[in-house]
């Protein structure tokens, strides 16, 4: 019998401390007391125990308690509770690595604990409790920001800059060295902006961090999928703050400006945009306007007639005259003509009514459904308790998910051509070849309306023909379409192409009637085609070949993981098999460590694991000690969202001196910008 093992197991079961133990004497004298135990919680300052107990080893090799004080005794632990003892709970290095990996992948603490419970079949076989698990996750969280929350984020930005030469970031500090503004975008965001940046959504609705900084992402529309252009944090919503942010964004994008910029209903923002983007058409997000009406006029929100009238004013009118009639009718019927909010809204009608903005591209985002989709997508999985490091990690995962979905979407677009429930005319086939699947469905709907519409030739003016196109029995669908068969130009007063980049059913009806087999080149919007990002993919593939990352080790890793996992499942029920596997692992691990150690000493490629450019200037993070932002002082409960429609809540205050640092031209050397 292994006496050491027997004694150790017995001690652990009794949860006692060994203070005197001589195994040799115990073997010679089986009746000799060999163990004395003390209660750690009851010791004098002179380290004299109040309670003592003695045990002896009997002939069967079992420990027997021979002397103790009953007042200090307690019932033995039930077998089903043994796993709660400290001796049965241990956060080993391997378990810690597993928990850390799951946390980095986005699993919450309880989700990772439940996963481990499921893998172990029973919760008590994990080797630690829920509380131990939560405490360990919290320690990982503290470890991630042990250098300071903001400092860690700045270091991450600097590291990304060394890995991605086109990465751009700016950090602005106040006079105390605390972060007040933060901005970054990577190289893919720049490429996406070059293609889809004609229409940008800028949203400051969400409070997603413990410092109450305003999260302000710049989002675009890639074939009805959201694409990220940049992300920023600002300390307040003043005009000066927005001006500084927009100037940084413009600099990061090489000076390119948007055609249309969608914003929420904020007076400071409205004042800042013309100063930085004088030629940009800034518009109010329809979704925010609808939310404003609901919050301000709760009595009317249950009135379906009012909602229909308001929605028609927002996006149901085609001409300005139609809009004026609808607005006058609505405000008169519901006695809103003298309402200050509606008067203010009417003064901004050119920023939100579709009838007054047909000549500017909006890529379809003026639809309230599209606005709501974009607005919700950038909410991220963050809240008012999230620190900046956590948010940065969440942001990176969100963007990674968007891009992974985009890759799959592009793959499907390239490998197949969509089919239609209607007979595939030549025009439909051409559309299926050039447009993505999503845009083809939109085109298909318009084409279906075109087939069912009526036409009448009104007159011919030289080479141009003017047709009346309408849907029978549907008011407001009649348009006079001008067609030039020689130049293949077509004009429709509804201006759907100018607004969204897609031809309307009025135009498609005329093209189909004249047996046009392909969409005229001037009416193919490049941003909606399958080829929109071809050059970007080619550049990425070339860079990957240069870096040698195409032949990565991911397939091998997955293959080995499956093999080892299969081996574990095969051996876990048999003690001897487990022992063989553990011994083999220890032996292989030591051999691998020796190989890596030898490689590090002989190969300079392994000398430095941190990517540092040659002849590079010292990094900003190594020069500047960045402090966390000041926490917002709030009363009562904080909401993750700020109040919408904040005309009356412009924040004013003294401006302190700020300094700024970052990476990328024109600030290549990371010098401070005072």
Across the 674 residues of the chain, what is the mean pLDDT of every consecutive 10-residue run?
52 46 45 46 45 74 75 71 76 81 80 83 78 82 68 88 89 85 93 90 71 85 86 89 94 89 83 90 80 73 84 85 92 89 88 81 62 54 76 87 88 84 84 89 91 92 92 86 93 88 92 91 90 82 66 73 83 88 90 86 46 36 63 44 36 43 40 30
Q: Which of 144, 167, 196 is the last residue of a domain?
A: 144
Work out the angle at residue 319's Cα, subtended by the Cα atoms of residues 313 and 322, and round it to the nearest 5 degrees. 55
Residue 474 lies in a domain: yes
Residue ranges making up the domain that contains 486: 437-528
DSSP state of 312: I
Give a yes or no: residue 673 inside a domain: yes
Q: Which residues share a beta bridge with 529? A: 435
Q: Dig out the tokens for 46 from the structure.
A: 């002179």
Report if residue 389 sits inside a domain: yes
User: Considering only CA atoms, which of 95, 98, 167 is closest in space to residue 128?
Assistant: 95
Residues 489 and 520: their CA atoms lie apart, in Å, by: 8
What is d(CA 14, CA 12) in angstroms, rounded to the nearest whole number? 5
Same domain, 250 and 335: no
Residue 63 lies in a domain: yes
What is the predicted pLDDT for the residue at 635?
Answer: 36
263 and 159, same structural domain?
yes
pLDDT value at residue 510: 94
User: Is 543 contained in some domain?
Assistant: no
Last residue of a domain, one of 76, 100, 134: 76
Tell me: do 151 and 245 sit in the same domain: yes
Do 127 and 188 fall into the same domain? no
One domain, residues 150 and 252: yes
Q: How many alpha carbons lie under 13 Å from residue 535 in its C-beta half-sphere?
A: 8
**Dist. CA 30–CA 425, nearest whole Å:** 100
Q: Is residue 232 within 8 Å of 649, Cβ to Cβ?
A: no
Residues 342 and 271: their CA atoms lie apart, in Å, by 20
CA atoms within 13 A on the CB side of 359: 6
Number of domains in the chain: 5
Classify residue 326: in a domain, yes or no. yes
Residues 120 and 60 in one domain: no
Last residue of a domain, one of 76, 94, 126: 76
pLDDT at res. 457: 93
Asked if residue 60 and residue 97 are part of one domain, the reply reads no
The one-character DSSP state at 346 is: H
Six-digit token string for 510:
């005329």
Are residue 290 and residue 347 in the same domain, yes or no? yes
Statement to judge: residues 277 and 164 lie in one domain: yes
Both tokens of residue 621? 């993070």
Query: Does 589 fall in a domain?
Result: no
Q: Are residues 384 and 262 in the same domain?
A: yes
CA proximity to 60, closest of 80, 30, 100, 88: 30
Alpha-carbon distance 393 to 386, whole Å?
11
- Does one domain contain both 385 and 271? yes
- Please, are residues 202 and 272 in contact by the beta-carbon 8 Å criterion? no
Q: Is 548 among the domain residues?
A: no
Beta-carbon count within 10 A of 27 CB = 12
Contact indicator for 624, 661 with CB cutoff of 8 Å: yes
**Look-up: residue for tokens 């309307």?**
504
Say if CB 205 and CB 640 are below 8 A apart.
Answer: no
Residues 216 and 150 in one domain: yes
For residues 417 and 406, what is the distance between their CA atoms, to the nearest angstrom?
Answer: 17
């Amino acid at each position: 019998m292994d006496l050491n093992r027997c004694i150790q197991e017995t001690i652990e079961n009794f949860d006692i401390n060994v203070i005197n133990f001589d195994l040799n004497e115990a073997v010679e004298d089986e009746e000799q007391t060999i163990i004395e135990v003390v209660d750690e919680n009851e010791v004098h300052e002179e380290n004299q125990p109040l309670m003592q107990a003695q045990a002896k080893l009997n002939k069967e090799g079992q420990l027997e308690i021979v002397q103790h004080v009953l007042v200090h005794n307690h019932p033995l632990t039930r077998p089903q509770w043994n796993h709660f003892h400290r001796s049965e709970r241990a956060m080993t290095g391997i378990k810690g690595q597993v928990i850390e990996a799951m946390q980095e992948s986005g699993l919450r603490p309880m989700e990772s604990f439940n996963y481990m419970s499921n893998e172990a079949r029973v919760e008590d076989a994990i080797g630690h409790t829920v509380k131990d698990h939560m405490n360990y996750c919290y320690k990982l969280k503290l470890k991630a920001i042990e250098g300071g929350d903001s400092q860690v984020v700045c270091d991450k930005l600097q590291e990304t800059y060394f890995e991605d030469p086109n990465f751009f970031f700016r950090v602005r500090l106040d006079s105390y060295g605390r972060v007040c503004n933060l901005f970054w975008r990577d190289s893919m965001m720049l490429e996406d902006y070059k293609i889809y940046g004609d229409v940008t959504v800028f949203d400051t609705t969400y409070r997603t961090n413990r410092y109450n900084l305003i999260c302000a992402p710049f989002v675009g529309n890639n074939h009805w999928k959201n694409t990220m252009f940049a992300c920023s944090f600002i300390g307040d919503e003043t005009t000066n703050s927005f001006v500084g942010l927009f100037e940084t964004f413009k600099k990061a994008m090489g000076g390119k400006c948007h055609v249309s910029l969608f914003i929420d209903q904020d007076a400071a923002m409205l004042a800042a945009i013309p100063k930085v983007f004088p030629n940009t058409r800034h518009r109010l997000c329809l979704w925010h306007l609808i939310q404003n009406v609901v919050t301000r006029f709760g009595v009317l929100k249950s009135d379906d007639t009012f909602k229909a009238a308001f929605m028609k004013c927002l996006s149901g009118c085609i001409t300005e005259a139609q809009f004026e009639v609808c607005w006058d009718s609505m405000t008169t019927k519901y006695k809103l003509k003298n309402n200050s909010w509606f008067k203010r809204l009417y003064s901004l009608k050119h920023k939100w009514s579709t009838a007054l903005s047909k000549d500017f591209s909006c890529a379809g985002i003026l639809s309230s459904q599209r606005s709501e989709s974009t607005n919700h997508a950038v909410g991220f999985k963050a809240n008012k308790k999230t620190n900046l490091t956590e948010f940065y990690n969440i942001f990176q995962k969100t963007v990674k998910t968007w891009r992974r979905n985009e890759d799959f979407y592009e793959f499907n677009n390239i490998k197949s051509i969509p089919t239609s429930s209607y007979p595939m005319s030549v025009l439909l086939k051409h559309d299926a070849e050039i447009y993505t699947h999503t845009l083809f469905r939109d085109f298909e709907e318009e084409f279906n309306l075109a087939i069912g519409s009526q036409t009448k030739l009104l007159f011919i003016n030289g080479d141009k023909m003017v047709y009346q196109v309408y849907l029978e029995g549907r008011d407001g669908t009649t348009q006079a379409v001008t067609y030039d068969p020689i130049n293949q130009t077509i004009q429709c007063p509804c201006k759907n192409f100018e607004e969204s980049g897609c031809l309307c059913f009025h135009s498609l009806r005329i093209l189909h009637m004249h047996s046009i087999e392909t969409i005229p080149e001037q009416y193919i919007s490049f941003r909606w085609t399958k080829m929109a990002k071809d050059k970007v993919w080619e550049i990425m593939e070339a860079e990957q070949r240069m870096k040698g990352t195409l032949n990565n080790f991911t397939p091998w890793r997955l293959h080995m993981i499956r093999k080892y996992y299969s081996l574990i499942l095969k051996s876990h029920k048999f003690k001897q098999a487990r022992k063989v596997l553990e011994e083999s692992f220890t032996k292989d691990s030591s051999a691998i460590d020796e190989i890596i150690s030898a490689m590090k000493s002989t190969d300079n490629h392994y000398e430095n694991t941190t990517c540092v450019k040659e002849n590079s200037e010292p990094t900003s993070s190594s020069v500047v000690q960045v402090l966390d932002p000041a926490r917002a002082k709030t009363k009562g409960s904080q909401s993750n969202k700020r109040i919408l429609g904040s005309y009356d809540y412009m924040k004013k205050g003294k401006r302190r001196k700020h300094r700024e640092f970052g990476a990328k031209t024109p600030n290549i050397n990371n010098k401070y910008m005072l």
